[in-house]
């Protein structure tokens, strides 16, 4: 599939600037925008939402994935959902670099997962650097949390509301703040 090949090329390419890839990106993005608008502008049954998500991602989405609308994605084709996932309303996926959500994940309202970053140099600021995000099994991302490019959220980890995660989160911990820091370990009760 061209979109999957595109993701691989984007991640392998350190910096994307003035590239032919931009035309491919904009074409996929334009098609995704139409689907997102249709998804978010009227009532849909759970089965219809699942169908839209499958069309947006270009992959089958398990019926156990539950998404409260509105849902936002700029690119769409680089999202992979596991099973038994709950995504609350107003969650944004900037997925050009790839977002994987494993089984049993919870994502709170207003959370943002952003795989794209602009360059620091003012002369190159329009350039992009992308890196994937992975949310491991049974993790919980709190309301309004932001997960930045290249981050893995460990299994069973909790990202507190309003946290900004700039580096990997180990399994079985709670992180909070901006930038997010570990505040405690999760002890099985």
User: Angle of helix 46-57 relative to helix 21-40, nearest 10 degrees?
Assistant: 170
Q: Which of 163, 159, 153, 185 is nearest to 172 (CA)?
A: 185
> Do residues 90 and 97 lie in contact, with contact meaning Cβ atoms separated by under 8 Å?
no
Place of tokens 């998500």: 53
Q: Which residues lie below 8 Å from residue 75, measured CB to CB, with a gap of 6+?
A: 25, 28, 29, 32, 94, 95, 96
Q: Exposure of 139 by Cβ count < 10 A (0-12 exposed, 13-18 middle, 19+ buried)?
A: buried
| 118 in catalytic set | yes
List residues with catalytic annotation: 118
């Amino acid at each position: 599939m061209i979109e999957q090949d595109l993701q691989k090329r984007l991640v392998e390419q350190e910096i994307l600037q003035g590239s032919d890839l931009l035309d491919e990106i904009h074409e996929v993005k334009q098609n995704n925008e139409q689907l997102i608008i249709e998804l978010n502008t009227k009532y849909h049954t759970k089965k219809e939402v699942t169908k839209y998500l499958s069309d947006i991602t270009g992959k089958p989405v398990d019926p156990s994935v539950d998404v409260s609308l509105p849902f936002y994605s700029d690119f769409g084709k680089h999202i992979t959902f596991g099973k038994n996932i709950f995504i609350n309303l107003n969650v944004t996926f900037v997925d050009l670099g790839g977002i994987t959500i494993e089984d049993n994940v919870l994502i709170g309202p207003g959370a943002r997962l952003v795989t794209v970053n602009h360059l620091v140099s003012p002369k190159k600021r329009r350039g992009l650097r992308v890196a994937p995000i992975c949310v491991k099994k049974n993790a919980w991302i709190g309301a309004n949390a932001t997960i930045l490019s290249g981050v893995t959220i460990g299994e069973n980890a909790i990202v507190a509301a309003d946290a900004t995660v700039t580096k990997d989160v180990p399994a079985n911990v709670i992180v909070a703040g901006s930038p997010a820091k570990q505040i405690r370990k999760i002890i099985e009760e």
